[in-house]
Amino acid sequence: MNLQKNICIAFLGNAMHDSRITNLSKSLHENGCTVTTISFDWNLLQTDYDDGVLKIFKLAKNKFRLLFYLRFARLLISELMKSPAEIFFAEDIYTLPFVVITAKLKKAKVYYNSRELYAFLAGLRNRPWLQYVIKTIEKYFIKKVDLVLTTGEMDSEFLEKFYNITNTLVIRNIPLFQKPQNKINYREKYGISADKIILLYQGVLLEGRGISVVMQLMVNCRNTVLIILGDGEQKKNFQALSEKLQIADRIFFVGTINQKELINYTAGADVGLALIENISISYYHALPNKLFEYIMAEVPVFASNLPQMKAIVDAYQVGVSVDLENKSELETQLNNLLDDEQRRIKYKANCKTAAMELNWEKEISTLLHRIAVDN
């Protein structure tokens, strides 16, 4: 498909380590688009990055949060105004107002990637004033965009009802179809004995992602080790918890992995964890990319039984979905999975079949057709 569109993507985060933006940019480029991405980093980079296609601005994050957002806004507006794009993607609520205003001035299209229910994030559940501000901003600007992208049917249904809109399109967080070329051998790398089952968590280290849940389980599940791929604001807290529980010698914090290499790290595990906790509406609707990344890497899944995740796990028989509120069942289900190698082999084979359908190339086709007709 030769789209011949000029497209600009804006994101408050490091796009180099964001699979959704990486995959979107690749697909748009392969279909004849000129794509530029504006993004920001406050953890990994030491200086700004610019390769002519991707720009990442280094932001300093300190106690003066207002200064952080003012510099972010100034840089973003400046870059947006320079862009000749016909279609602008706002990749989060933080870029949405600036992208909408700029695009309207330029008479360009706006696509809003609502990858979360931002007004209902777990971190806002005890901050009603901030939740109100985000709802107000989103309610105003979401009605001025041409298309709202979501990561699941439940998110689309919720946003359409909550904001009285109809222009949503589901594009799930699904990886490119690929196979590991150089699978990481964790046992060799970290001296892990053959009798240990390697559990894997990959993603941002935040509250409510089930990391503390699995650490508690590991106290009694002595035949496990945990590999953690990613970084985040809760890393030090999780390290402290592992020390408190006396399991620190069985937990390996590997850090952030480049998207191009991630599948090699994922494939080295025995079981992939997607234990999202039901602590907010956004989390209840969860359908995270890690779930599909485990499937693509042919790693059996141990996941929450939240509705959208359970639907995938059950439909493709790629693992086990569990009730995180039932601690005894949770431990029993994990032990059953760990003790039954043949069951894991079966789930692994089902992952291979599921990956033929659950891949980005198939998922993105509906958006590409929409872009083709959007003038």
3-state secondary structure at position 173: coil
138, 225: one domain: no
pLDDT score at 177:
95
What pLDDT is attached to residue 314? 97
What is the pairing mode between strands 271-274 and 301-304? parallel
Say what the pLDDT of residue 62 is: 74
Looking at the structure, tell me whether residues 159 and 190 fall in a common domain.
no
320 and 213 share a domain? yes
Residues 85, 97, single domain; the answer is: yes
Domain with residue 314: its CATH number is 3.40.50.2000
Domain residues for the domain of 366 are 6-173+359-373
Distance (Å, whole) CA 165 – CA 158: 10
291 domain-assigned = yes
pLDDT confidence of 43, banded at 50, 70, 90?
Answer: confident
Asked if residue 180 belongs to a domain, the reply is no
341 and 367 share one domain:
no
The token pair at 278 is: 């039901």
Residue 21 lies in a domain: yes
98 against 62, higher pLDDT: 98
Q: What does the pLDDT read at residue 207?
A: 87
pTM for the whole thing? 0.91
Task: Tell me what pLDDT residue 327 has.
Answer: 87
Q: Does 255 share its domain with 315?
A: yes
Say yes or no: 86 and 216 in one domain: no
Would 178 be classed as within a structural domain?
no
Q: Is residue 5 classed as helix, strand or coil in its secondary structure?
A: coil
pLDDT of residue 291: 97
Same domain membership, residue 91 and residue 155:
yes
| Strand ranges for 83-196 from DSSP E | 87-90, 109-114, 147-150, 168-170
In a domain, 268, yes or no: yes
Percent of the chain with pLDDT over 70: 99
Asked if residue 205 and residue 108 are part of one domain, the reply reads: no
How many folded domains does the chain comprise?
Answer: 2
Same domain, 325 and 203: yes
Q: Where does the pLDDT of residue 127 fall: very low under 50, low under 70, confident under 90, or very high at 90 and above?
A: confident
1 part of a folded domain: no
Residue 179 located in a structural domain: no
Q: Mean pLDDT of all residues in the chain?
A: 94
**Residue 341: closest CA among 200, 194, 210:** 194
Q: Are residues 119 and 242 in the same domain?
A: no
Q: How far apart are CA 161 and CA 158, in angstroms?
A: 5
From residue 214, give the alpha-carbon distance in Å to each of 5, 156, 218. 45, 30, 6
Does 222 score more than 90 pLDDT? no
Are 251 and 341 part of one and the same domain? yes
Nearest-angstrom CA–CA distance, 56 and 15: 8
Q: Per the domain annotation, does 56 fall within a domain? A: yes
User: What's the rounded Cα separation, in Å, for the pair 357 and 70?
Assistant: 43
Query: So what's the pLDDT on residue 97?
Result: 97
